[in-house]
Amino acid sequence: MDSRYLRAFVAVADHGGISAAAQALGYAQSSVSAQLKRLEADLGVSVLVRAGTGAVLTEAGVRLLPHAREALELEELMRRAARGDRPRLRIGAQESLAHVWMPDVLAALEYGAAGTDAGADIELTMASRRALEQAFAAGGLDLVFQYDNGVRTLGPHAVVGHDRTVLVAGPGHPLARQELVTPEQMVRYDFLVAEPGCTSEMLVDRFGTDLLAGAQLAVIQGSLSALLRLTGHGHGVSLLPELAVARELREGELVELRLAERIRPVSIVAQWRPRLGPGDRTLRALLDVARRADPLPEVTRAARAS
């Protein structure tokens, strides 16, 4: 089957319509429509329902989509192998990991920490948890690093490290003058969160209850730096992994609030796609380097011992 037909089909599925798919592929809309008709003729079934505002997959199209993605990925692997290119590894990471921890891990891999034959062309995508999960499910990422917030991870995955979870505020915030902060005191103030649901789920996992129920939440999406600046200027408190605020704590732009109840460390979880071909060696090497860069190795050792 002509890969152009599959590429046009996947583009329509990803962009929601033939016009948007044609623009993304750089083709004329008539060309994409013709390719889709040839695909349906080859298969003997309709894969799309065309509408004035876009296109929707039929049941046959839904069944075809994951196989179409896999076929296109295999074609790319074959092309790279035939040209003698290095393997490609498309990595996604939450911003709180991508701007501090991930660059060190990738630099160590590039400089031979896992051996000189483990190199690859790395593409790093920094995005929100929801965007990463969508890109991974759509086949746009091979490996994703995220903080575990209690949501079950499906498919091949592993814990590669741990990080402290810290409650932070600006130096001038009223809670910064408290020796100990109780959960009840904490929720009296605005709570800044990076993603809806993520922090609440973290609190449920660590305290056994959603301490933010009824609290005033301010969602700062798309920019961790904006959230940190707002927190530093006294606009609220925030519960974040320590890696995300290490510099701000060191420079005094933020202060850590001492909670009366202990917060357990949060795991750093890697999830990857199976059957990466030549990229599998790089994947394994990268996971090994990530484990050696564990921010809290003592927690990992204790977890393995138990």
Q: For 132-176, what is each residue's pLDDT tens digit?
A: 888 888 778 889 999 886 555 667 899 999 998 888 999 999 999
How many whole angstroms separate alpha carbon 238 and alpha carbon 225?
Answer: 13
Q: For 214-253, what is each residue's pLDDT tens digit?
A: 556 666 655 778 888 888 998 888 888 888 888 899 999 9
- Check if the beta carbon of residue 60 is closer than 8 Å to that of residue 43: yes
- Mean pLDDT for the chain? 81
- pLDDT value at residue 220: 60
How many whole angstroms separate alpha carbon 266 and alpha carbon 181?
Answer: 20
How many CA atoms lie within 13 Å of 189's alpha carbon, on the beta-carbon side?
22
How many whole angstroms separate alpha carbon 137 and alpha carbon 117?
Answer: 29
- Read off the tokens for 282: 């790089």
Would you say the C-alpha torsion 27, 32, 34, 40 has a positive or negative sign? positive
> Does CATH place domain 3-83 in 3.40.630.30?
no
Buried-exposed string 274-300: b where 16+ CB fall within 10 A, e elsewhere: eebeebbbbbebbbbbbbebbbbeebb
Give yes or no for residue 209 having a pLDDT over 50: no
How many whole angstroms separate alpha carbon 66 and alpha carbon 50?
Answer: 20
Domain residues of the chain, as ranges?
3-83, 88-163+266-305, 165-257
- pLDDT value at residue 200: 45
Mean pLDDT over residues 202-214, rounded? 52
Classify domain 88-163+266-305 at the CATH superfamily level: Periplasmic binding protein-like II (3.40.190.10)
> 198: which DSSP letter?
H
CATH number for the domain running over 165-257: 3.40.190.10
Mean pLDDT over residues 176-197, rounded? 79
- List helix spans (H) across 16-112: 18-25, 29-43, 59-83, 95-98, 101-110
- List helix spans (H) across the chain: 3-15, 18-25, 29-43, 59-83, 95-98, 101-110, 129-137, 183-186, 198-207, 224-232, 242-251, 279-292, 297-305
Mean pLDDT over residues 271-278, rounded? 82
- pLDDT value at residue 60: 92
**Residue % of the chain over a pLDDT of 70:** 82
Give yes or no for residue 305 having a pLDDT over 50: yes
Q: Is 0.75 surpassed by the pTM of this model?
A: no
Mean pLDDT over residues 61-70, rounded? 87
Q: How confident is the model at residue 202 (pLDDT cuts 50, 70, 90)?
A: low
Give yes or no for residue 278 having a pLDDT over 70: yes
Mean pLDDT over residues 281-299, rounded? 87
How many whole angstroms separate alpha carbon 181 and alpha carbon 183?
Answer: 7
- pLDDT value at residue 304: 64
- pLDDT value at residue 212: 57
Q: Greatest CA separation found in the chain?
A: 72
Do strands 88-94 and 121-127 pair parallel, antiparallel, or not at all (unpaired)? parallel
- pLDDT value at residue 189: 83
- Read off the tokens for 251: 């420079």
165-257 matches 88-163+266-305 in CATH topology: yes
What DSSP element (H or E) covers 193? Answer: strand 191-193
**Residue % of the chain over a pLDDT of 90:** 21
Would you say the C-alpha torsion 89, 87, 27, 39 has a positive or negative sign? negative
